[in-house]
Structure 1
Amino acid sequence: MKTMNHHPRPWQVPLPLLLATVVAWTGTAVRAADDPLPPNGLLVPTAESKARFAELTQEVVYVRRNILGWQRLLTRMGDPTGMALDIDIASLGEEFVTQGNVPPAYPLMGDTNDPPPQTVAAVDNSVLDAFPPIRNQGSQGSCSAFSSTYYQMTHNTALARGWNAKTGGDTFRFSPKWTYNMINGGSDSGSYIADAMAVAADHGAALWSAYPYTGSTGDATPWCLDSNIWQNAISYRMQAHYTISSIHTPTGLSNLKIALDNGYVAGFDSYSPWGYNGWIQGAVSNDPGTTNDTPYIGQQICTHVVSLDWGHAMTIVGYNDDIWCDLNTNGVVDAGEKGALKIANSWGTGWGNGGYAWMAYDALQNETAVTNGPAPGNRVYAIGYGNYASNSRVYVSTARSSYTPTRIGRFTVRHPKRSQMIMRVGKGAAGSAVPSQTWTGAALSADGGSLAFNGTTGSAVTATFALDFSGVTPDRGYQYFIAMQDTLADDQNGELIDFALIDNPSQTIQYVNRATDPGAFSPSTGVASGITAYASIALPLGLGELTDVTPASGLKAGGYTVTLRGTALGNGTDVTNITLGAISAQSIVSQSATQVVIVAGTAATAGVGNVRVFSSSQGIAEQPDGFTYTDNGKLPQVIAFPPQPTRRTSDTVMLLATASSGLPISFSVASGPALITGGTYLSFNGVGNVSITAVQAGNEEYDPAPQVTRTFLVLGNTPFKVQAIALTNNVVLRWTDPMASGISNRTVHVRSSTAGYPLTAASGAFMYTGTNSLYTHTNLTPYQTYYYSIFVSQNGSTFIVPNTIPPAGDPIITSIDDIGQTGENEP
């Protein structure tokens, strides 16, 4: 017998919840007794959990760039058109080259021998529409499920499917309750990341809207009992799990950065953050040599990590090479002090920097690389549980753009102790009593503790679940099984009540119930005590052949007749199920062994799909891609146009998008200060929000594709300049509100010098920051010339002023009542 299983797991004793005393280098690692934090929830890895993690994940040796990754990199290289590179663009989900595969050659520069930069310098994927809002795990130790299911699975699936998980609502976010309640062993005592990943791979996940997470005590043990949610979750099964190792090395960190450049987020485990004394807290310093760190000065950053007895799972959403933390407190930017990863936590927006925190690159080492940097004796690698270089790794899960299971088994069972029940799907030769091939998923596999399905003790509970048959090559001509093993012969019996074999994925091919079809069950009662009970359904080989479908396309409204012709389509009376592209026929008008006439059903969307005829005597006759539902008689198409990052007014961008039809894409400026030349080259003539629309108008074969519009912010590069001579000891500066140019949430910053214009936001004295339209510079030397640079920022993050303002002209002689500058070029 061939068996493919995720083996049952022994559950750990909960980790101690007593705080350890940690003597740390400078920084904060203290939690007030009246400021409770959520439990951590990451169990200490065991040999078994490590083996399971290794089985689930593929080791990455090289990361290719997708469209978004190239756009970000080319912009940094100063060649946003991409014309200087012979670039290799990976499709979404195909970026990770694993061990055993030869990585493609890195693209060579066209006009220089200098290698291209490996990373972008700063990426923040939490601002993408795909990333969900920061949420709080509450009183449950569900960090593994939050990191893997809520943050990473939601984000990476949203990337693949074009969802807006940030503001689109809970129908575009996955529920950590689905995962955590199935992997915590029946008690709120934490879990393993590997188990969360296994559930996502084998069963998918429930949407938050369908199975909401509460985070409350006592809500961590019930399983989902809605078979429709189970069946829908299968369509979100993750594509693959990858491990990027050696994050403490340049190669590992570079691979992680490229994955982040590509838009992904990555999960990891660590000792617990500040509040639990594992992460040592510092503050982002102000590097006088750059303004790129200005929006982040003073934000919380992990300077290093020390060993504790418990851990926590979190998510990496970005990085910034310009973040500086003065790790040795000498006031100088030293080698090794620059750069940090951006981390998303599941402790709500009140933690860290609105729910996020920085982790210094130096913290990735178990020994500081900074002279006189933090070096306590219990310092460990910041990423990875335990002070082992082999654990210094992150994981990235890729998602499918769509997934339709070939065949699903839906079944009803009853058991008082779910930890004694193992469910399997299987198949065997036609007429066989037991399967020769089985598959066991990560869930419903002797787990969940000695509780009923609803998380209670005492009485057995009846529930209906669904499993994907893809693990047993669901072809025809076999007997299909659902198997329920009861692992202990006692008075806590399991009962297998019914079994439905569902095709494509909503058509029930056959259904058996122990009350009406006892011959389909073994034993006929469906009761198991220390044995395995089976229910089986025969799926004939499909001796028939479907040769013609007329018409081969039709409007999605349905209601018209379609004639299916072939051989051995049935015996003339036993055709029971017919689908056109997974849409059930409204009715069967007539049938014979060679022809079946149906009335087409109604499709929600246009699209092409297989045509299937099922009869109990001949099985399934199928014609791949045999019918197309259309909006108006033409074929549908869609546009893939990735989100656009923030741009500068000096940028020139080559727009990249593709249509599923292969037809060319055209672009237009929907709004904002932008120009498109040559069809695809985008440049900017001002600041503010820019919206670009991708269009494919269709042809005689294809419908127009739904237009896709991407909106992003364009930032300026040059400050507004004012030169003034003080007649008294004051100079008054006035400006118009920048919101008049479409810039919201603006803050004005004034810097001054007596030796020329402060050209950057970091040079000169920082005289004023605020939202007023007037500033009075006082205590000046009369008749002294003063130079002012006026900057504007949005949301306190990036300087955004026009780069088209000319330098100031003749000096302006001012008094306390004079306007320092007037005219059209006000900021």
Structure 2
Amino acid sequence: MKKLALALALTFLSTCAGLFAQQASLEVLSKDAAALASLPRLTMPANYSSQALPAVKDNTDLIFFPGIYSQEVCNCNQAASVWLMYTYEVNYLRGLESANPDNQYSPMAVFNLMNYDYSSSCPGVSYFDTWSIIKANGIPGSTDFPVNSQNSYVWMSGYDKYYRGMKNRVDQVYAIDVGSPEGLITLKHWIHDHLAYSDIGGVANFQIGSGDMQTPRIPVGQGLEAEGEYIVTAYGPNVGHAMSFVGWNDNVKYDVNGDGWFTNNVDINSDGKVDMRDWEVGAMLVVNSWGSYYNNGKLWVQYRLLAEDLNHGGIWNNAVMVVKPKRTYQPQMTVKTKIRYNQRNRIKIQVGVAASPDAREPEFTMDFPCFAFQGDTLPMQGFYGLGADLIELGLDITPLLDRFPESGQAKIFLDVIQKSPNETGAGRIESFSVM
């Protein structure tokens, strides 16, 4: 009944293009630690731990694995979250091959929206930003945002492209605490069968410090598993790089303390107890984003590093992130707008609704993490040239339907909020319609 009323209401919909206005201060974004703490934890269902696991697992052999990415800019978090994990997981749900370029997603489609440094200092963009953007407005496929481009600043223009991207969404992002044997088993079950008795398992992202990373080769000539391949025995303390777990091997081993033995029951770190941090046997299979470097883009990571803290070579917060995309999604109400502006990091876009067609301001507003004072001091499309300050956007405003009155009539506001203290920013709303 409500859907029918809304369909009729769109015919009489009043729209109002808001004027550029001043905003006093920037919104303070949550830090990664706060974002991680807010995520729901994925744990094993009751009695699931009794399910048998293989000694060796490698999901890079599956058709959902998109291949090794070779980053040319500081987009490692998006290489892990978008190129590898989102592509893998959404294609698993849709039964599509990730080797097909039509089924791939570019890290730059998200990275560019948040990249704020038009220089060489390489600040990077967190994968928590990845998920907030895809949740809010989706992500375009490679047909609309080519995966073979690593231009760091271009923003996509064209309502139809945004509309197609709106259909690629995230249902939920979870964290798995992996700093204990139980957490490791939970991660393995996710990689093995998505913790759902599936024939296909998943992948997981995690963050580390790549500076001072120790990656010796597994000795050759000793009959060791994966001999000659690189293995991480310690990460660095300064976190800023992302990788992905795609499998494991219980038989990969490395003699950390140099005593000539491979043990999981000896106190190798001399802390007076034996726990997971002392394990020399067993390693996760990791995919990196540095092209074929290391073992053709892969390397091993000792199980013990999942439990270690940063000062002793461990992964960040002893946790990994996994995602469950939406298999299908159809936006119910969208905005199509053309906005002209010369310095895109000085504006923020909001869409609001008021129950009365005569309202002068919205009663409720939606923010969009993809267009909120970011993108450096560049024209809207991210380059200098004729027409680069004009962009056509599509915004999914389906959640506003819940704010409509029973009459089905409402007024929609498009507000472009300006923050230009030196009055160097200039622009206007060229067009605005609700679809």
One fold, TM greater than 0.5? Answer: yes
Contact 2:349 2:417 (C-alpha < 8 Å) held by counterparts: yes
Contact 2:307 2:318 in 1 (8 A): no
For 1:610-652, what per-residue CA distance to the aligned partner results, in whole angstroms no more than 9, with x for missing partners? xxxxxxxxxxxxxxxxxxxxxxxxxxxxxxxxxxxxxxxxxxx
Match of 1:298? Answer: 228
Q: Which structure is larger by alpha-carbon Rg, 1 or 2? A: 1
| Structure 1 partner of 2:181 | 250
Map of 2:416 onto structure 1: 484
Per the TM alignment, residue 53 of structure 1 is displaced from its structure 2 partner at its CA by: 4.4
Q: Deviations over 1:109-156 (max 9, x none)?
A: xxxxxx724643322111111110112012x11101111111111001
What pairs with 1:85-104 in structure 2 (closer than 5 Å)? none
Amino acid across the alignment from 2:391? A
- What's the Cα RMSD here? 2.6
**5, 24, 34: which is aligned to 1:51?**
34
In structure 2, C-alpha distance between the alignment counterparts of 1:412 and 1:286, rounded to whole Å = 65
Q: Which amino acid aligns with 2:232?
A: C
The answer to whether the Cα contact below 8 Å between 1:118 and 1:254 also exists between their aligned partners in 2 is no
Q: Say if 2:152 is the partner of 1:220.
A: yes
In the other structure, the counterpart of 2:172 is 240
Asked whether the 8 Å contact 1:271–1:279 carries over to 2, the reply is no
Cα distance in 2 between the residues matched to 1:9 and 1:122: 46
Structure 2 counterpart of 1:454, from 367, 378, 381: 381
Number of the residue aligned with 1:282:
217
CA distance 1:285–1:259, change in 2 (3 Å)? farther
In 2: Cα distance, 1:331 partner to 1:404 partner: 59
Identify which of 283, 289, 304 aligns with 1:362: 304
Deviation, 1:286, is 7.8
Q: Which residue number in structure 2 is paired with residue 323 of structure 1? A: 252
- Distance (Å, rounded) in 2 between the aligned partners of 1:480 and 1:54: 35
Distance 1:220 1:393, change over 3 A: same
Distance between the aligned counterparts of 2:221 and 2:82, measured in 1?
36
Report which of the two has the higher share of strand: 1
What letter matches 1:470 in structure 2? T
Indicate yes or no: 2:262 matched with 1:333: yes
Q: Distance in 2 between matches of 1:287 and 1:116?
A: 34
Residues 733-757 of structure 1, C-alpha deviations (whole Å, 9 max, x = no match)? xxxxxxxxxxxxxxxxxxxxxxxxx
Q: CA deviation at 1:453?
A: 1.5
Gaps of 5+ in 2: 1-24, 194-200, 265-278
Aligned to 2:393: 465
Q: Secondary structure at the match of 1:442?
A: strand
CA spacing shift, 1:480–1:47, aligned 2, 3 Å: closer
- The AA in structure 2 aligned to 1:297 is E
Residue 305 (structure 1) shift: 2.3
Contact 2:338 2:432 in 1 (8 A): yes
Q: Which residue of 2 aligns with 1:207?
A: 141
Distance 1:240 1:171 in 2: 24
Residue 315 (structure 2) aligned to one of 377, 383, 387: 383
TM-score normalised according to structure 2 size: 0.80
Structure 2 CA distance for aligned equivalents of residues 454 and 118 of structure 1: 52
Choose which of 338, 346, 367 in structure 2 pairs with 1:440: 367
CA distance in 1 between partners of 2:66 and 2:219 (Å) = 25
Structure 1 residue aligned with 2:128, among 160, 174, 194? 194
C-alpha contact 1:284 1:301 (8 A) present in aligned 2: no
Contact 1:183 1:196 in 2 (8 A): no
Query: With structure 1 as the length reference, what TM-score do the two structures score?
Result: 0.43
- 1 or 2, which has the higher helix percentage? 2
User: What is the CA deviation profile of residues 44-74 of structure 1, one whole-angstrom value per residue up to 9, with x for unaligned ones?
Assistant: xx9634334444x3233x134xxxxxxxxxx
Letter in 2 for 1:126: T
- Report the equivalent of 1:420: 346
CA contact (8 A) 1:284 1:300 kept: no
Query: What is the distance in 1 between the residues matched to 2:298 and 2:32?
Result: 28
Deviation for aligned residue 1:326: 2.6
Q: Which residue of 2 aligns with 1:268?
A: 206
Q: Which amino acid aligns with 2:85?
A: Q
Whole-angstrom distance in 2 between the partners of 1:51 and 1:121: 35
**Is 2:75–2:107's contact at 8 Å kept on the other side of the alignment?**
yes
How far apart are the structure 2 equivalents of 1:59 and 1:123?
Answer: 23
Query: 2-side partners of 1:438 and 1:482: how far apart?
Result: 9
Q: Is the 8 A contact 2:155 2:382 kept in 1?
A: yes
Per-residue CA deviations over 1:255-305 (Å, capped at 9, x if unaligned) read 211111121111111011xxx4323323167886xxxx74x2221111222
1:348 aligns with 291
Please report how far the alpha carbon of residue 379 of structure 1 lies from its aligned counterpart in structure 2 after TM superposition.
4.5
Distance change >3 Å, CA 320–CA 286, structure 1 → 2: farther
Is residue 119–residue 258 contact of structure 1 (8 Å, CA) maintained in 2?
yes
* Aligned counterparts of 1:491 and 1:352: Cα–Cα separation in 2: 48
Q: Any residues of structure 2 matched to 1:666-815 within 5 Å, and which? A: none
Matched-pair contact (CA < 8 Å) for 1:186–1:451: no
Q: Per-residue CA shift, 1:419-449, capped at 9, x if unaligned?
A: 1111112211131222111111210111112
Q: For the Cα contact (< 8 Å) 1:286–1:324, is it kept in 2?
A: no
Compared with structure 1, are the counterparts of its residues 458 and 158 closer, same or farther at alpha carbon in structure 2 (3 Å cutoff)?
A: closer
Deviations 1:293-331 (A, max 9, x none): 74x222111122243x45311111111212222323444
Of all paired residues, the percent bearing the same amino acid is 23
Cα distance per residue 1:526-569 (max 9 Å; x no partner): xxxxxxxxxxxxxxxxxxxxxxxxxxxxxxxxxxxxxxxxxxxx
Distance (Å, rounded) in 2 between the aligned partners of 1:366 and 1:401: 36
Task: Note the 1:482-631 alignment, pairs <5 A.
Answer: 482-488=414-420, 490-502=423-435
Task: Check conservation: 1:304, 1:362, Cα contact below 8 A.
Answer: no
Q: Distance in 2 between matches of 1:408 and 1:286?
A: 63
Paired AA for residue 113 in structure 2: M
Say if 1:241 and 1:171 are closer, same or farther in 2 by CA, change over 3 A: same
Aligned-pair CA distance for 1:404: 0.6
Q: 1:9 to 1:452 in 2, by over 3 A?
A: farther
d(CA) in 1 for partners of 2:106 and 2:401?
29
**1:27-106 mapped onto 2 (5 Å cutoff):** 48-55=31-38, 57-60=39-42, 62-64=43-45, 105-106=46-47
Amino acid at match of 2:298: Y
SS across alignment from 2:96: coil
Q: How many residues align?
A: 380
> 1: distance between equivalents of 2:401 and 2:37?
24
1:783-806 C-alpha deviation (Å, 9 max, x unpaired): xxxxxxxxxxxxxxxxxxxxxxxx
- Name the CA distance, whole Å, in 2 between partners of 1:354 and 1:341: 16
| CA separation of 1:279 and 1:435: change in aligned 2, threshold 3 A | farther
C-alpha displacement at 1:381, in angstroms? Answer: 4.2
1:648-667 alignment, distance < 5 Å: none
**Are the equivalent residues in 1 in contact too, given 2:308–2:318 (CA < 8 A)?**
no
Residue 70 (structure 2) aligns with: 136
Alpha-carbon offset, residue 407 of structure 1:
1.2
Gaps of 5+ in 1: 1-6, 11-45, 65-104, 108-114, 368-377, 385-390, 503-827
User: Which amino acid is the alignment partner of residue 87 of structure 2?
Assistant: T
2:34 partner letter: A
Which structure ranks higher in relative contact order (CA pairs < 8 Å, sequence separation ≥ 6)? 2
- Three-state SS of the structure 1 residue aligned to 2:361 is coil
Quick one: distance in 1 between partners of 2:396 and 2:262? 56
For residues 283 and 306 of structure 1, what CA distance do their matches in structure 2 show?
20
From 58, 62, 68, the counterpart of 1:124: 58
Distance 1:162 1:312, change over 3 A: same
Letter in 2 for 1:362: R
> Would the aligned equivalents of 1:144 and 1:193 in 2 still touch at CA under 8 Å?
yes
Q: Is the 8 A contact 2:349 2:415 kept in 1?
A: yes
State the Cα distance separating 1:158 from its structure 2 match: 0.7
